[in-house]
């Protein structure tokens, strides 16, 4: 009989179930998550997510009876109100932008804005639970006060699996409520929100292990001594996985949205609130910046140009460089580097001589230039080390190659940089794990002058013509 880890990654679009034995992955499955979108609102049903997880675990336990530990990765910035007076089954996502006006008003007080950022490491932006709580307090005060408890997705799951109201430091450090210097809910921020810490989960280290609840054990046909390791956030665990698989401190994710992350041994905050700093483990912090505008911008462009959404990817082999055509990809507002929910996308230099090849090239450049600029704002850039790429968009070879050339760095695309791999590393207690390398991309030397000059112009426009929040 061998011990098995069931790692469950609850992202924003799907739930991934991965079983590891002591050496490798032996089972994978995924389930879609339905998102409800209307204007600036974006929500999901936490009950539906839990139901899906329970159904899939029942299927898994029919195949594998030796599950020793279950551990969770969950998306950041989720917020779930629970009221005893009314049925409520809504989880607000980071992309829910209803708090945009409220938080823009809040940021007019720059002293308080930077005070709260310095306490938490979470940029002041509509993505955060802090922003949504402030919005509800000001716009729906009676309802706000009647909420009994505020869950995140992790604490919601833990309520079922271990029968405790608890979340981990990693998830908490992305809420805008957690003082990441003393590892407590921040008293000043809660006082400002007129919110009692009794309405928030108890806080524990991400490696904390619980015993499974009797109810969950019986319902899911799991052994009564099954351990539940609470785990961390998806972004932090992906950074951990990248560092263990590729011995590099930096990774770039490009899917529907995107991010640049560094694994740091110290807590680092940007001078202008341009980056986040989230807790992962003792002497391990994840520093970086997220962008709203990744592959979804290519999907938008494809909808304009082609009947088939996938056609744009076939056209990436036939692009045309245009030195004076720039695209600023802020089609959904933006988090890093400008932290402005109201920003919009734009072309600069577009004229009648530009066709599809040049426009597609400039859009892709704009997405990648934005990520490179985010990296330039971080404390240390490990230029001589490989940059690890992950996410669905970088599976396209032309896009991965362009990233390597724009960043002028060797880039690695690995198939073992998912959050579940980070959970596996913790389960193995840091023992060496098998590494794999899918593809290596090297910068094209002949393209360096073009990309260096164009990136410099991109930055100049960004810093002089597009408002950088906080500067």
- Owner of token pair 């921020």: 189
Q: Are residues 240 and 331 in the same domain?
A: yes
Q: Are residues 67 and 121 in the same domain?
A: yes
pLDDT at 414: 81
Q: Are residues 359 and 460 in the same domain?
A: yes
Q: Are 382 and 249 in contact (CB under 8 A)?
A: yes
Q: Are 316 and 399 in contact (CB under 8 A)?
A: yes
Q: Are residues 244 and 224 in the same domain?
A: no
- For residues 146-166, average pLDDT: 98
Q: Residue 414: how many CA atoms within 13 Å on its side-chain side?
A: 27
Q: Are residues 227 and 282 in the same domain?
A: no
Q: Are 16 and 241 in contact (CB under 8 A)?
A: no
pLDDT at 416: 82
**Hey, is 280 helix, strand or coil?**
strand
105 vs 192: CA distance, rounded Å:
15
Q: Is the pLDDT of residue 273 over 80?
A: yes
Rounded alpha-carbon distances, angstroms, from residue 11 to 16, 49, 139, 279, 374: 8, 10, 29, 18, 23
Partners of 285 in the beta sheet?
264, 279
pLDDT at 248: 75
Q: Are residues 67 and 207 in the same domain?
A: yes
Q: Are residues 71 and 197 in the same domain?
A: yes
Q: Are residues 281 and 370 in the same domain?
A: yes
Range with lowest mean pLDDT among 115-124, 316-325, 413-422, 424-433: 424-433
- The sign one gets for the Cα dihedral 383, 389, 393, 397 is positive
Antiparallel, parallel or unpaired: β 346-348 and 326-328: antiparallel
pLDDT in tens, 179-213: 999 999 999 999 999 999 999 999 999 999 999 99
pLDDT in tens, 41-58: 999 999 999 999 999 999
pLDDT in tens, 395-411: 999 999 999 999 999 99
362 vs 27: CA distance, rounded Å:
40
Q: Which residues contact 358 (CB under 8 A, 6 or more apart)?
A: 319, 320, 321, 322, 325
pLDDT at 204: 98
Q: Which of 193, 208, 232 is the last residue of a domain?
A: 232
pLDDT at 469: 45
- For residues 105-117, average pLDDT: 97
pLDDT at 471: 44
Q: Is the pLDDT of residue 104 over 50?
A: yes
Radius of gyration from C-alpha coordinates of the chain: 22
Q: What's 228's domain CATH number?
A: 3.30.420.40
471 found inside a domain = no
Q: Is the pLDDT of residue 470 over 70?
A: no
Rounded (5°) CA angle 99-105-110:
120
- Owner of token pair 């698989």: 245
Range with lowest mean pLDDT among 28-32, 147-151, 245-249, 318-322: 245-249
* Tally of CB atoms within 10 A around 32: 9
Range of the domain at 373: 235-465
Q: Which of 202, 232, 262 is the last residue of a domain?
A: 232
- For residues 258-269, average pLDDT: 95
pLDDT in tens, 66-96: 999 999 999 999 999 999 876 679 999 999 9
118 found inside a domain = yes
pLDDT in tens, 349-398: 999 999 999 999 999 999 999 999 999 999 876 778 899 999 999 999 99
Number of domains, the chain: 2
Q: Are 247 and 425 in contact (CB under 8 A)?
A: no
Q: Are 377 and 370 in contact (CB under 8 A)?
A: no
Q: Which of 232, 250, 278 is the last residue of a domain?
A: 232
143 vs 127: CA distance, rounded Å:
21
Total residues belonging to the chain: 471
* Tally of CB atoms within 10 A around 352: 5
């Amino acid at each position: 009989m061998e011990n098995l880890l069931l790692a469950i990654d609850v992202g924003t679009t799907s739930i991934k179930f991965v079983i590891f034995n002591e050496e490798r992955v032996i089972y994978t499955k995924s389930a879609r998550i339905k998102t409800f979108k209307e204007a600036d609102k974006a929500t999901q049903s936490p009950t539906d997510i839990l139901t899906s997880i329970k159904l899939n675990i029942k299927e898994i336990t029919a195949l594998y009876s030796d599950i020793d530990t279950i551990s969770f990765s969950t998306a950041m910035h989720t917020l779930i109100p629970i009221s005893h007076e009314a049925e409520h089954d809504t989880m607000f996502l980071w992309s829910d932008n209803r708090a945009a006006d409220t938080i823009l008003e809040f940021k007019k007080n720059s002293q308080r804005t930077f005070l709260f950022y310095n306490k938490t490491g979470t940029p002041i932006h509509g993505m955060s639970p802090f922003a949504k709580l402030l919005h509800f307090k000001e716009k729906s005060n009676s309802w706000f006060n009647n909420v009994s408890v505020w869950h995140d997705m992790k604490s919601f799951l833990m309520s079922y699996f271990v029968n405790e109201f608890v979340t981990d430091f990693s998830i908490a450090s992305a809420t805008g409520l957690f003082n990441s210097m003393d590892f407590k809910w921040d008293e000043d921020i809660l006082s400002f929100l007129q919110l009692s810490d009794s309405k928030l989960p108890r806080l524990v280290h991400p490696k904390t292990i619980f015993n499974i609840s009797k109810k969950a054990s019986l319902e899911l046909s799991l052994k009564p001594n099954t351990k539940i390791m609470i785990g961390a956030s998806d972004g932090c665990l992906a950074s951990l996985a990248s560092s263990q698989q590729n011995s590099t401190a930096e990774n770039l994710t490009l899917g529907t949205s995107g991010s640049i992350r560094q694994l740091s041994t110290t807590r680092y905050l940007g001078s202008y609130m341009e980056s986040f700093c989230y807790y992962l483990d003792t002497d391990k912090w994840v520093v970086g910046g997220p962008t709203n505008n990744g592959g979804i911008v290519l999907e938008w462009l494809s909808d304009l140009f082609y009947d088939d959404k996938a056609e744009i990817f076939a056209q990436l082999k036939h692009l045309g460089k245009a030195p004076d055509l720039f695209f600023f990809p802020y089609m959904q507002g933006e988090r890093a580097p400008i932290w402005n929910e109201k920003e919009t996308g734009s072309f600069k230099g577009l004229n009648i001589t530009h066709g599809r090849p040049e426009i597609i090239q400039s859009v892709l450049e704009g997405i990648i230039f934005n990520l490179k600029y985010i990296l330039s704002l971080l404390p240390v850039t490990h230029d001589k080390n490989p940059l690890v790429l992950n996410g669905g968009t970088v599976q396209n070879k032309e896009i991965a190659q362009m990233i390597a050339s724009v960043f002028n760095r060797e880039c690695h695309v690995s198939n073992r940089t998912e959050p579940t791999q980070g959970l596996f590393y913790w389960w193995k207690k840091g023992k060496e794990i098998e590494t794999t390398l899918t593809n290596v991309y090297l910068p094209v030397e002949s393209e360096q002058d073009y990309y260096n000059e164009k990136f410099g112009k991109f930055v100049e426009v960004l810093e002089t013509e597009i408002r950088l929040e906080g500067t």
